[in-house]
A and B are shown apart, each in its own frame.
Chain A
Amino acid sequence: MPTPQQLIYLSTELTDSVKSINAIVAKQELPYDEETRELSTSAARLAVLANAIGQAGLSALAHEIREAMGELNSQVKSAKERSRKSMT
């Protein structure tokens, strides 16, 4: 089972490929010829796939991060209290 981080790396790798294809398609004039249209369709399919993988990874990370946020807020609260006591 891939980790959320691995999913995000994979999504970025796929998106970099989409970016390369975008650069080629962007140079063509409308209406696109058959070859360019197929290329744009392939890029869009790859983009949807990359997006699904990336969003899955990010959602998993978002789920994991809640505990870390709670812990950080608690540490910040303790530090504020210690600081207030040291000043009084």
Chain B
Amino acid sequence: MRHHTGPVDPESKEFRDTQAVTQAALEALNGYMKVLSELSAKDVANVSSDVSTMDPDLSTLTVTNPKVRSGLEASSALASILLDAAVRNDLKKLIVKAAEPVGQITTYLVDQAQITRNVCIQTVAANHEYWAGLTTQNPANREFCSQHTICKPLYALAKRALVTENNDLNAKAVAAEAAAKAFQKIHDDNAALVNNVDHLDAKALTEILTNDEPYLISAIRDLEAL
């Protein structure tokens, strides 16, 4: 990039500040995504070991009776899932409380990527102007070039350098545009997650269990009837 002709000064305080903020924003977003994935990845197995502490009476029941055993197993499974729901509640809290800052940060990252794309295109324009000035012919040049064949290959070489540099800048602009779209998708996904966060609570899970896993509920009732 021709910094002396380009529209951006990478040494400027504003530019350095913006880059530092972008780096910090990416780190904050990565930290959030990591915790979100850790909380989401906690499966039933991780918390099922705590089931015995939920209801000591359950663990003292004799399990020789098949009906009791199936009920115990079912209640253990249900307790595990509800415990998992407690973890999901943490997830919900995080998603709801982080909704606004995540939205602001992803918006900033979209804009930062967009500005990076813009800067690449702006620098192409600066390059054109730079080479236009460098190759401008005064009357003496025109006279010289009309008498010698050396000018044509020199201009061809200059054009090649210009095209190479601009191709690189245009490729970077396309990459930055793709990054902006990727950040926009994260932004939209986060908004959708926040809008649907109620599906993560224990009540919704119980409803899902009632509708989709009726055998668990009936087994619990069997156990209660003993």
Contacts and interface: CB of A to CB of B under 8 A. Distances in A.
A43 B101 contact: no
A68 to B, nearest CB: 4
Contact of A21 (B115, B125, B132): B125
Given A22-B124, A58-B18, A79-B90, A41 B129 contact: yes
A59 B17 CA distance: 8
Nearest to B154: A30
A1 interface: no
B170 to A, nearest CB: 8
Given A65-B108, A72-B98, A83-B90, A47 B125 contact: yes
Q: How large is the interface on A (under 10, 10 to 19, 20 to 34, 35 or more residues)?
A: 35 or more
A37 to B, nearest CB: 5
Nearest to A61: B108
Given A18-B122, A58-B115, A61-B111, A82 B104 contact: no
Given A18-B121, A51-B7, A5 B105 contact: no
Contacts of B17: 59, 62
B35 A80 contact: yes
Judged by DSSP, the binding face of A is helix
Nearest to B122: A47
A47 B115 contact: no
Contacts of B158: 30
Interface residues of B, number: 58
Nearest to B112: A58
Contacts of B128: 22, 25-26, 40, 43-44
Interface in B1-33: 7-8, 14-15, 17-18, 21-22, 24-25, 28-29, 31-32
A13 to B, nearest CB: 10
Interface string A16-55: 0011011001100111100011001101101110111011
8 contacts: A8-B111, A30-B155, A31-B132, A32-B135, A41-B132, A51-B122, A65-B104, A79-B35
Nearest to A22: B124
Given A62-B18, A65-B21, A72-B101, A11 B115 contact: yes
A59 B35 CA distance: 29
A42 to B, nearest CB: 9
Contact of A22 (B14, B119, B125, B155): B125
A79 B117 CA distance: 35
A83 B87 contact: yes
Interface string B99-114: 0111011011001101
Contact of A59 (B18, B24, B119): B18
A55 B14 contact: yes
